[in-house]
Structure 1
Amino acid sequence: MTADITFYTNPQSRGRIARWMLEETGQPYRVELIEYGAAMKSAEFLAINPMGKVPVIRHGEHIVTETAAICAYLADAFPQAGLAPTGDERANYYRWLFFTAGPLEAALTNKSIFGSDPAPDKQGMAGYGNYATAIDVLSHAVKANPYIAGARFTAADVYVGSQVGWGLQFGTIDKRPEFVEYFARISERAAFLRASELDNALAAEPAGS
């Protein structure tokens, strides 16, 4: 598939995860900066993503939203990058990618914004039970292998690792040794460093420039 990619993002968003994934693929892409407020809710952008949020990628005629989906899509679209799962990696790859995008993110959101778990008698309805359970499950996943799907870095590490890194930075994930060591290992990658530099530079630009 050709690399006709447009990347809609804001550096103060989960677009940083998608940027890292794009850099891992090694494919060229064009950036469209979408400011928060009117631009993100404009009719033009809502025609691309009716949720009115970033990140989004357009690859040829295909539009992909949701950051975990973007990571998985790009891994499949550009197999030469070696980021899609193979063989025995597949179960862990999908398991932990979707665990992080679903139960874990819900637990972290409730922790950081609402400051509490669901009531004990409602935890069975929440999908993640409670925050402590979700964090313990993540700890188990990170300790099991050097990377989330096994012995090799995959696209799932971009998404899971970003959530671990942000959680450590903002205090929503405990600084357990397994989390600190895992994020240190993946954040040394050249693609992560390039993506961070690009987004930091974009964030420093004056609005509307």
Structure 2
Amino acid sequence: MYDVIGSRASRAFRVLWLAEEMGIQYTHLAVASGSPEALAANPSGKIPALRDGEAVLTDSTAIMTYLADKHGQFTHAPGTVARARQDALTHQILDEIDGTLWTAARHSFVLPEERRVPAVKDSLKWEYARNIARLSDALAGPFLQGETMTIADILLAHCLIWAGKAGFSDPGEKLNAYLGMMSGRPACQRASALS
């Protein structure tokens, strides 16, 4: 059994969603970044973390990749063209969407107030709109790579939810339909209901 460490209102949601999709047993420690439990799992205090026996893994994407590879679900086989394309999409989402949202969050409430540059958010919103349009054009449907849902889909859907809450631009009809389909999945609903 796994321990998923981190509150649902963080990138831990991605790991919780994947665990629910996979039907694997886990214990959820709904703790905040910097809490004693988070610090015990990760010296930086960042969440999420995953405890698998004696091993502790950090970073939501690394954890999702580990679980998907270990259980052979929501991923393409390593060494295949489909996996390389999945990894390219994952890195594109992390770089162009997640990174933009995280930078905006840092300049909104994460950094000490004297270190924030609120004016950067307009530029980030422009960049997000440009990048999300490119991803929308690439959406094969119903999932990013056609008929197969992968961890890249969970990553993108979580970023779309985050962007909506953060006041970023509407992603357009195609991605709104995609997000509706993804967020309507029973596993996403179960993860959303966790404390």
Q: Counterparts of 1:27 and 1:132 in 2: how far apart (Å)?
A: 36
2:8–2:192 Cα contact (<8 Å) kept: no
Which residue does 1:5 correspond to in 2? 2
Structure 1 residue 51 and structure 2 residue 80: aligned? no
Identity of aligned residues (%): 28
Instruction: Give the deviation of 1:47 after TM superposition.
Output: 4.4
In structure 1, runs of 5+ residues without a counterpart are: 119-128, 203-209
2:12–2:48 Cα contact (<8 Å) kept: yes
CA-atom RMSD in angstroms: 2.3
1:14–1:55 Cα contact (<8 Å) kept: yes
Structure 1 residue 194 and structure 2 residue 185: aligned? no
2:32–2:38 Cα contact (<8 Å) kept: no
Which residue does 1:166 correspond to in 2? 162
Instruction: Report the 3-state secondary structure (helix = DSSP H, G, I; strand = E; otherwise coil) of the residue aligned with 1:57.
Output: strand
1:8–1:32 Cα contact (<8 Å) kept: yes
Q: Counterparts of 1:93 and 1:45 in 2: how far apart (Å)?
A: 30
Which residue does 1:84 correspond to in 2? 75
Instruction: Give the deviation of 1:99 after TM superposition.
Output: 1.4
Larger Rg: 1
Instruction: Report the 3-state secondary structure (helix = DSSP H, G, I; strand = E; otherwise coil) of the residue aligned with 1:117.
Output: helix
1:52–1:173 CA distance, 2 compared to 1 (3 A): farther
2:133–2:171 Cα contact (<8 Å) kept: no
Which residue does 2:31 correspond to in 1? 34
Identify which range, 65-74 or 164-173, moves more after superposition. Answer: 164-173
Q: Counterparts of 1:160 and 1:175 in 2: how far apart (Å)?
A: 12
In structure 2, runs of 5+ residues without a counterpart are: 109-117
1:17–1:162 Cα contact (<8 Å) kept: yes
Identify which range, 6-15 or 85-94, moves more after superposition. Answer: 85-94
* Corresponding pairs, count: 179
1:51–1:92 CA distance, 2 compared to 1 (3 A): same
Instruction: Give the deviation of 1:138 after TM superposition.
Output: 2.2
Structure 2 residue aligned with 1:20, among 11, 14, 17? 17
Which residue does 1:125 correspond to in 2? none
1:55–1:98 CA distance, 2 compared to 1 (3 A): same
2:143–2:153 Cα contact (<8 Å) kept: yes
Which residue does 1:184 correspond to in 2? 180
2:93–2:156 Cα contact (<8 Å) kept: yes
1:57 maps to amino acid: L
Which residue does 2:122 correspond to in 1? 116
